[in-house]
Amino acid sequence: MIEVKVLGTGCANCKATQKLIEKVCSDNAIPISIEKIEDTAQIMSYGIMSTPGVVVDGKIAHAGGIPDAKTVLSWFKSQCCPTDNDCC
């Protein structure tokens, strides 16, 4: 299972980013565990200065603004299909 953290204080962009990640993963049968982090100190501990931030398996994948679906899918391609990056 891929661990995803959405970092943000609860603004509309952060909520939209979380919903987009959930939809992309659901549509592509990518198993994730998603956590929303709203604590400012925790967010800053990742070095994220612009929200929403997204951390995938401990690595910063995105910061600032709502990503598009293609970008979200690219974060998971290597995890969901390690031998064929066209599978999902």
First to last CA, the chain: 15
Max CA separation in the chain (angstroms): 38
Domain with 63 in it: what CATH number?
3.40.30.10
User: What residue numbers bound the domain in which 58 lies?
Assistant: 2-80
Mean pLDDT of all residues in 75-79: 81
The angle at the Cα of 42, spanning 17 to 60, to the nearest 5 degrees, equals 50
Structure tokens belonging to residue 36:
């929303």
Domain total in the chain: 1
pLDDT digits (tens, 9 = 90+) for 21-67: 999 999 999 999 999 999 999 999 999 999 999 999 999 999 999 99
pTM above 0.85, yes or no: yes
Residue 47 falls within a domain, yes or no? yes
Q: How far is CA 40 from CA 10, 22, 36, 59, in A?
A: 11, 23, 12, 18
Is residue 27 in a domain?
Answer: yes
Would you say residue 76 lies in a domain? Answer: yes
Is residue 86 predicted with pLDDT exceeding 80? no
Query: Would you say residue 68 lies in a domain?
Result: yes
Confirm whether 87 is domain-assigned.
no
**Residue 85 domain flag:** no
> Which residues are catalytic, by number?
11, 14
